[in-house]
Amino acid sequence: MAGVSTKEIKTRIRSMESTKQITKAMEMVAASKLRHAQAQIAYSRPYFRMIYGVIQDIAETNTKQHLPYLEPTKNAKHRTAYVVIAGDRGLAGGYNSNVLKLCYGEMQGRDCAVLPIGKKALDFFTARGVERMSESYAEAEDVSVSDCFTMARMLCKAFRAGEYDEVRIGYSNFVSVLSQTPATMKLLPLEPESRDGDPKPADILYEPTSTEVFENIIPEYIGGVIYGALCESRASEQAARRSAMDTATQNAEEMIADLSLKYNQARQAAITQEITEIVAGT
Amino acid sequence: MKSFPLKIVTPDGPQFEGEATELIVRTISGDMGIMAGHINCVTSLGMGRAVVVTEEGKREAACIGGILSVLNGEVNLVPTTFEWADQIDLRRAEAAEQRARKLLEDKRLSAVELRLADARLKRALVRKSVASSMLSH
């Protein structure tokens, strides 16, 4: 008999086919979730840009006053707080590992605490023994706008209390359906992007007082940025899963074609052998 | 009347973009009116009614939390929630008010829960007052 038996090949084809069905279904689910996430991004991006722009303008035009959040609190611990956004489930290509690796790499040599969002982020940092601030955001899909604002208030309070001298966020940027890049961003202390060049001289009236305004708007700003990053990450996750599952489906199809060929060859070989045996009269 | 460029953007998408002649919002220190030529100004928003006056007329909305910035004549309103009066579901706001009131009667609430329920009640009251004042017009 020629190599592998036809029965064995048939079983393998069948198992490949059921795998293909699963990956195909997952791809379609991810594609539909992706559409939803993309719509959400289209809404949240203008907000994200606007709130970022407004805060940057204020930070840039403010040259005289010492306002809270523009620099670490005096005698603050030399410690960084990281907000890390990953997914809840695997099978999304490099989505989870890319962002987690980037953040973990940055954390090396620093005293850090993380605020993980998503089950994968929580598991990753638990396994590596990094201090977690909270474990209540293990479901990235369920985190709402108000959760983002709660987190922001918590982070701002800790920053003001001098527990951290820096707050950063790690997330995935949704560039396109085919490309998602992990990134980290500094949330606190606030630093205007362009320190070089003359600061734009502009007097701003803060109502009622600059300190009071900053105390109120910075937590709002941080919450807005966390929400924006979360929307980007969610869309990235679905896009990454969709393309990973698309590749898996294609691979399964290739293997099925290959196995079908082998199956037919084996079947043909068996028939030929049978005929030869009959003709030879053995 | 002179107008100024106004943008209202929330996490749920842009709500308004265009020329306005007057804007009234509730800030943390009380109501504030903005007209064209206002000085550069930044303030934090409280919970309350917002009024946008344009050439076409006056629109009211429930506007809660966020930032108002006036910089070089451009006015940016970045609230956490912003609902035009005609989009508010009055019955839902009333139901939310009842729920929040019931919650607040519970004496076993923790400080955080109490704060959340209180905030919910205030939000519901703002929505209700904005929506019902529109009906009476």
A11-59 pLDDT, tens per residue?
Answer: 999 999 999 999 999 999 999 999 999 998 988 888 888 888 888 877 7
Distances (CA, A) of A151 to A79, A137, A158, A217: 18, 10, 11, 14
- Kindly report, residue by residue over A193-251, the tens digit of the pLDDT: 655 555 555 677 887 787 888 888 888 889 989 999 999 999 999 999 999 999 999 99
Supply the pTM of this predicted model. Answer: 0.84
Chain B residues inside the 8 Å CB shell of A212: 28, 44
Of A232, A211, A244, A253, nearest to A66 by C-alpha is A211
Does this complex have an ipTM over 0.90? no
Please identify among residues 15-34 of chain B the ones whose CB lies closer than 8 Å to any CB of chain A. 27-29, 32
Which pLDDT does position B56 carry in this prediction?
87
The 10s digit of each residue's pLDDT in A125-156 is 999 988 888 888 888 888 888 889 889 989 99
**Subunit contact B41:A51, Cβ cutoff 8 A:** no
Q: Which CATH number fits domain A25-243: 3.40.190.10, 2.30.40.10, 3.40.50.880, 3.40.1380.10?
A: 3.40.1380.10
Q: What is the pLDDT of residues B81-129, one digit of tens each?
A: 898 888 888 888 888 888 888 888 877 777 777 777 888 888 888 888 8
In this prediction, residue A62 carries a pLDDT of 67
What are the extents of the domains in chain A? 25-243
Give the gap in angstroms from C-alpha A204 to the nearest C-alpha of chain B. Answer: 5
The arithmetic mean of pLDDT across residues A50-77, rounded, is 77
Q: How far is CA B112 from CA A37, A238, B9, B101, in A?
A: 31, 34, 29, 16
- Which chain B residues are Cβ-neighbours of A220 within 8 angstroms? 44, 65-67, 80
More confident residue, A56 or B137: A56
Residues A186-193, mean pLDDT to the nearest whole number: 79
CA distances from B50 to A149, B29, B60 (A): 22, 14, 6
* Residue in A47, A202, A213 nearest the CB of B9: A47
Kindly state the DSSP code that residue A173 receives in the 8-state scheme.
Answer: E
**Quick one: pLDDT band at residue A3, thresholds 50, 70, 90?**
low
Residue B29 — pLDDT band, cuts 50, 70, 90? confident
The answer, for B119 touching chain A at a CB cutoff of 8 Å, is: no
End-to-end Cα spacing for chain B: 24
pLDDT band at A1 (very low <50, low <70, confident <90, very high): very low
Q: Taking CB atoms and an 8 Å limit, are A208 and B29 in contact across chains? A: yes
Mind listing the pLDDT tens digit for each residue in B69-79? 888 888 999 99
Cα-based distances in Å from A268 to A11, A14, A198, B47:
18, 20, 82, 80
Nearest CA in chain B to A146: B80
Smallest CA–CA distance from A145 into chain B, residue: B11
pLDDT at residue B136, rounded to an integer = 66
Residues of A with Cβ-Cβ distance to B42 under 8 angstroms? 54, 58, 204-207, 213, 217
pLDDT over 50 (residue A2): no
DSSP 8-state class, residue B45:
B
- Min Cα distance B105 → chain A (Å) is 23
Q: Examine the pLDDT at A61 and tell me if it is beyond 80.
A: no
Q: How many CB pairs under 8 A join A and B?
A: 86
Average pLDDT, chain B: 86
Mean pLDDT of chain A: 87
Q: For residue B15, list chain A residues with Cβ-Cβ distance below 8 A.
A: none
Q: Does the distance separating the beta carbons of B14 and A54 come in below 8 Å?
A: no
Per the CB < 8 Å rule, is B13 touching A42?
yes
What domains can you pick out in chain B, each with its CATH number?
Answer: 4-86 (2.60.15.10), 90-136 (1.20.5)
- Phi-psi label, residue A130: left if phi above 0, alpha if psi -120 to 50, beta otherwise: beta
Interface membership of B78 toward A (CB under 8 Å): yes
Q: In A, which residues are within 8 Å of B14 by CB distance?
A: 46-47
Q: What is the pLDDT of residue B20?
A: 93
pLDDT of residue A229: 92
| Subunit contact A207:B12, Cβ cutoff 8 A | no
CB contacts, 8 Å: A152 with chain B: none
Which residues between 90 and 109 in chain B have a beta carbon less than 8 angstroms from any beta carbon of chain A? none
Report CB contact under 8 Å: B44, A54: no
